[in-house]
Amino acid sequence: MLKLFNSLTNKKEVFKPIDNDLVKMYSCGPTVYSYQHIGNMRAYIFMDTLRRTIKYNGYKIKGVMNVTDVGHLTSDEDSGADKVESAAKKENKTPEEIAKFYSDIFFHDLELLNIDIPEYITPATKYIPQMIEFVRGLEKKGYTYRIEDGIYFDVKKFSKYGQLSNKDLNRPGNARIEENSNKHHAFDFALWKFVPDSHIMKWDSPWGIGCPGWHIECSAMSKDILGDKFDIHTGGIDHKTVHHEDEIAQNDALAGHRVVNTWIHNEFLLVDGGKMSKSLGNVYTLADLKQRGFNPLDFKFFCLNTHYSKKINFTFDGLKASAMGYKKLKANLQEHKVGTEKVDSEKIDDYKQKFLDAINDDLNFPLAIGVLWTMLKTEPKSIVVYKTAMQFDKALGLELEVKEEEPFEEIDIIPQNVKDLADARLLARQSKKWEESDRLREKIAELGFNIKDSKNGYELEKI
């Protein structure tokens, strides 16, 4: 049976859908004001493994993922500017153009990672009426109040506030009310924010011109599509203390009961042992990994080898080792695909059971991959082994299907000095310094790489 760790109860629980064989699941999606980095992408790889495991167990899924194209302010505590609107002003585009541009890149990245996408994709701007209706419902039940900059949720009126994050209402800690001095409590959060005439993204409401708070969108969308009681809500661990705590408060306050049965959070991805930071130059996207010669599925394989609930430390040496492991896995599969030896059917059944037991034990994919490796290395070369591995790949999502002519190749890593020269050449070309550009091309060639100009800047390949 499938067991999942529930962040709300802080224990592993047997999973049983509310509605027989249909699993209703909500996953927090991206705020589309910039590129999604690899830390963001780990959350969607986790979502993918959960969705695939649910399907592997024979359940159907009704999944929802939001796209935040309005309402997410600079701070999760409702302060600062709207991230999408700020990006629009910075890039001299409309918010709609910004949202579409970064949404398209995000969903392309999901495709490259072979992510099983939820059945419903819901942009926040398409759900403004539902958000307003949700806030009105809270207002009628007496959970809201109005101050100069918006409509707020009164956390003291919700007795279970803090159940997910263990917040103590009597000890606000570092929560700030700098620009909202009239808030009743530091943990109170915005449901609807009033905005000035200069604000681009704004809508009329019963309370005045404004825009929704960030937290309200997920509640309105999930209620509209999944109803007022559903099975699973996923997201990154960074959402646990504010975003998801606030979701629970407004969900349960309006419904009068617990709306979400199981909350599941994936841990952070670190880079070289620390957080990603633009100032350190270590904020990487899938495009950056591809530029350095990696397949996006190398990164997915890298993530699957660490349990979703554990921090994972990203290094390029680690990614290289993972990429080699992924290639060796496919090379081994190729040998089984053309193999003709007989295998013990009872052993194959045992591998299948061990694989299922692993993924059903709170998505223990590192152990499941170990089961796959053991089968490939231990059993005779047989098409039966190959077909079993393909069955496992329905849960792994690693596109393990191989063509007979597919060769095994050592991965080529783009050295940093070559990457630096390529970046310098791109700047030279943009400045129309053609002689400098040619000189840098020759220098790159001396180091063993060809450089080709592309719409994304350039592509490097080993000579």
* pLDDT tens column, 80-116: 889 999 999 999 999 999 999 999 999 999 999 999 9
| Mean pLDDT along residues 315-333 | 95
Mean pLDDT for 190-199 is 92
pLDDT the model gives residue 302? 98
Q: pLDDT tens digits for 82-92? A: 999 999 999 99
* Domain definitions of the chain by residue range: 18-266, 270-396, 416-462
386 vs 300, 339, 394, 400, 437, CA distance in Å? Answer: 21, 9, 13, 10, 49
Determine the distance from the C-alpha atom of residue 446 to the mean position of all C-alpha atoms in its chain, rounded to a whole number: 40
| Distance in Å from the first CA to the final CA of the chain | 51
**Short-list 167, 177, 176, 175, CA closest to 147:** 177
What are the φ/ψ torsions at residue 63 (nearest 5 degrees)?
Answer: -110, 145
Question: Identity (one letter) of the amino acid at 131?
Answer: M
Please, what CATH class does the domain formed by 18-266 belong to? alpha beta
Check whether 181 has a pLDDT greater than 80.
no
Q: What is the mean pLDDT of the chain?
A: 92
pTM of the model as a whole: 0.86
Over 70: is that where the pLDDT of 198 sits?
yes
Exposure on the CB side of residue 442, measured as CA atoms within 13 A:
6
Average pLDDT over residues 210-217: 95
